[in-house]
């Protein structure tokens, strides 16, 4: 069984955390796969905590696709998250951990920003 881990940066803002959780729920509704969110810092759950929950609630998982809800490739994407995922691979050798790329320069992102500028 496959599952998805969504990683956000984390924020002290309650509104930011609520919106992150809304995106995670929307993904789960659209994919019908187990989806859980985690944060790099500033709020919970952390990546290891979220993975522990995901795996304990879904023991049949054999592949976890990790997608960052980050715009661009920075130190968290290049170093921090891969190091955490490597630790989880060692702890759960029967689960394949895959890591996707950040959102990046996507045409849809430009469309969203144009739409936001028109709202002003």
Whether the CA torsion 75, 79, 80, 81 is positive or negative: it is positive
Q: Among 9, 32, 39, 76, which one carries the catalytic annotation?
A: 9
**Is 76 annotated in the active site?**
no
Q: Are 24 and 39 in contact (CB under 8 A)?
A: no
The CA distances from residue 99 to 18, 39, 84, 115, in Å, are 24, 15, 11, 30
Report the relative pairing of strands 63-68 and 2-8 from DSSP bridges: parallel
Enumerate the active-site residues: 9
């Amino acid at each position: 069984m496959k599952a998805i881990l969504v990683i956000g940066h984390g924020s002290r803002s309650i509104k930011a955390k609520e919106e992150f959780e809304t995106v995670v729920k929307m993904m789960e509704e659209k994919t019908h796969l187990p989806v859980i969110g985690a944060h790099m810092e500033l709020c919970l759950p952390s990546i290891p905590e979220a993975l522990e929950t995901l795996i304990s609630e879904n023991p049949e998982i054999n592949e976890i696709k990790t997608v960052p809800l980050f715009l661009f490739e920075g130190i968290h994407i290049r170093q921090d998250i891969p190091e955490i995922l490597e630790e989880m691979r060692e702890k759960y050798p029967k689960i394949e951990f895959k890591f996707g790329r950040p959102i990046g320069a996507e045409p849809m992102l430009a469309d969203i920003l144009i739409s936001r500028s028109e709202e002003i």
